Amino acid sequence: MSAPRIVVTGTGWITPLGHDIEGVWRRLLAAESGMAPITRFDARTFPTTFAAEVRDYDVSRFVKDARVHATAGLNSQFALGAASQAWRQAGLDRTPPRDPRRVGLYLGAGEGVLDTANYVGSNLAAWDPVAGAVDGRRWAEAALARMAPAREIEQEPNMPLAHLAREFNARGPAYNCLTACAASTQAIGEAFSILRRGDADVMVAGGTHTMIHLLGVTGFNRLTALSEFKGDPTEASRPFSLDRGGFVMGEGSGMIVLETLEHAAARGATPLCEVVGYGSSCDAYRITDIQPEGRGAAVAMEAALRQAGIDPHARDAQGRPPIQYISAHGTGTKENDSIETRAVKRVFGELAREIPMSSIKSMMGHLIAAAGSVEFITCVLAIRDGIVPPTRNLRVPDPELDLDYVPNAARRLPVDVCVSNNFGFGGQNDSLVVRRFTA
């Protein structure tokens, strides 16, 4: 018995470039940037003073009853907005699933640091390092006393899952993974696998995260991963450019609805595209460094292509490379961009130079656990519209990076098959293959 075909019937995102699919897509194709000075806390003394924040967001615009989610943290609020868009586009509000026990969730959701981070930031002025442990203890006690008990649980990374389950009456398989920057790609891949083995009919999958707070920015500054660019923040994220200097923190959520083709057809839903391959691997190398030759990243891509039945070295029937677009992880750090380039060459050989690949992180920043899901959605839209988004700020070519990174301007071309890549701290690598749907 062959595995069921798995289709995407709904997409939604909440991003630094906006809160709707078409508006954000237009801005990405126009190479607009969502980066600006940080407003969540006073970052003027930090090495990095800018980020890509979600602005003017109101979760009540998207949910049935905002009171139900009154304690929701930002990560849960972003997830609710993105998933509600996807649910409605899939038509599940009009033709509900046959059995809520066959509706599942798989998220790559980051920790929801809320009151602790906020109160640490608001009480920093009270900290007296000269006074020592006594003042430190009092400061900590005061911060804890100000925390809202009802919101404490929202710091757990599975809380977005709980909010979505209640909103959509999803009573089937429910999972959350937290594999750093690869989390939402892994979540979509695992949801795809659950549907293929027959454990659900519908899966809502994707990611949500915010780390634009005092603790998050401090941590990535200490890791020297963030850009410390001193000019216009919109110029700070420079993936694949010789003068790249780190990533820009973003936040938000991307969610998709996956269904078996049989279930979608029975509802009269319109498939947007088909997921045909998923690959996952670990570098088994250093915690914060990618394996230098891109060994693990290549294994993930090769596994996804093998499951999709695609030979990475064979042209398609039109004489094109076997895939027409790669949504790159493309963080803008020196190591990541070089190693991802090596991995793509390792997989596709001489055809690698003919495959356009770009990084939307150059425009909306790095959404950490949610990065992969918003980048997957760009693949769905690239297939739909026959156009791929650019890599912004790529003005100084790196002689060691010699692939086609779609610099600065969107490009029209027929797109039938895409690969979406994401790699995370700890050596996690995940790749997805998505194809134009044909009946």
Question: Which residues participate in catalysis according to the annotation?
Answer: 181, 329, 366
Helix (H, G, I), strand (E, B) or coil at 169: coil
Yes or no: say if 87 and 10 are a contact pair by the CB < 8 Å rule: yes
CA angle 437, 195, 210 (to 5 degrees): 90
Task: Give Cβ neighbours of residue 132 (< 8 Å, ≥ 6 apart).
Answer: none
Closest CA to 72 of 256, 257, 208, 171: 208
Closest by CA position to 278, among listed 260, 303, 253, 256? 303
How far apart CA 32 and CA 309 sit, in angstroms, is: 36
Tokens of 44: 């003027």
Torsion of CA 316, 317, 318, 322, to 10 degrees: -10
Burial profile 416-425: b = 16 or more Cβ within 10 angstroms, e = fewer: bbbbbbbbbb
Task: Please provide the distance, in angstroms rounded to a whole number, between the alpha carbons at the two ends of the chain.
Answer: 19
Tell which residue, 170, 205, 169, has the closest CA to residue 190: 205
> CB under 8 Å to 375, separation ≥6 — which residues?
185, 254, 327, 360, 420, 422
Contact yes or no for 410/164 (Cβ under 8 A): no
Residue 358: which of 35, 108, 31 has the closest Cα? 31
User: Cα separation of 84 and 262, whole Å?
Assistant: 23
List residues bridging with 259 in a β-sheet. 7, 202
CA distances from 407 to 240, 359, 389, 395 (A): 9, 10, 9, 7
Query: What are phi and psi for residue 248, nearest 5 degrees?
Result: -110, 130
CB 187 within 8 A of CB 207: yes
* Token couple for 378: 């760009």
Between strands 202-210 and 103-109, the pairing is parallel
